[in-house]
Amino acid sequence: MKDKQIQSSHERATGDRFIQTYNNERGCNLIFKEQPSPPKPDLVYYDEKTNKTIGLEITDAYYDEDDAKGTWDIVRGVKPFSISRILYNPDEQLANAIGCRILEKSRKKYKYCDSIILLVVTRPALTEDEKDFRDNVLPHIRLPNHIPFSAIYLDVAFSRHHRHYCLYSTQASKRGASPS
């Protein structure tokens, strides 16, 4: 049960941080409504102006399974087993992992909301800085042909700040990465 609570808290904090930026940039006033169970998205926000709901589906992308396990062990308070290892082409591995998470989530069926945004969360610990990430990871993220989401954003945790990149949006009919 503790893992579900940790995951739920992570989703809520990540979603609220994203929605705050989303609201500020678009002049919206989305407010948290609920954290439902599947097949509904992870979080639901309500727009009082339009009387519509926006779902936020959140997923995490890691370099590999060892990175994912190590990260969640730290969050759970478990001392991670540390071994030195070499990742070959870590930027490409991360881009592929992000693409795989998007594809996996695009295959699911969601209900309940007027529109759904997919938010992929990652922390590129092996990427030198934001420019390095933009130059070496973003161009290699592949989107599937069928995208059921109104938008796909990437929430990137750099060492001192978070940045959101829009990878896809039906509103602007754009495909490609642009910071927001």
- The 10s digit of each residue's pLDDT in 83-134 is 556 667 888 999 999 999 999 999 998 887 899 999 999 988 777 689 999 9
Could you tell me if residue 138 is inside a domain? yes
| Residues of the chain below pLDDT 50 | 1, 173-176, 178-179
Distance CA 71, CA 63 (A): 11
Q: So what's the pLDDT on residue 84?
A: 56
Could you tell me if residue 65 is inside a domain? yes
Q: So what's the pLDDT on residue 178?
A: 47
Distance CA 139, CA 142 (A): 8
Residue 153's closest CA among 6, 1, 21? 21
Q: So what's the pLDDT on residue 122?
A: 94
Q: So what's the pLDDT on residue 1?
A: 47
Q: So what's the pLDDT on residue 31?
A: 96
Q: Under a CB-based contact definition with an 8 Å cutoff, are residues 25 and 180 in contact?
A: yes
Q: So what's the pLDDT on residue 43?
A: 96
Could you tell me if residue 95 is inside a domain? yes
Residue 15's closest CA among 5, 25, 3, 30? 30
Could you tell me if residue 15 is inside a domain? yes
Could you tell me if residue 170 is inside a domain? no
Phi and psi angles of residue 140, each rounded to the nearest 5 degrees, phi first = -100, 0
- Token pair in block for residue 28: 């919206």
What domain range includes position 45? Answer: 2-164+175-179
Could you tell me if residue 169 is inside a domain? no
Could you tell me if residue 69 is inside a domain? yes
Q: So what's the pLDDT on residue 37?
A: 85
Q: So what's the pLDDT on residue 2?
A: 75
Total domains in the chain come to 1
- Token pair in block for residue 15: 């979603």
Q: So what's the pLDDT on residue 3?
A: 73
pTM beyond 0.75 = yes
Could you tell me if residue 63 is inside a domain? yes
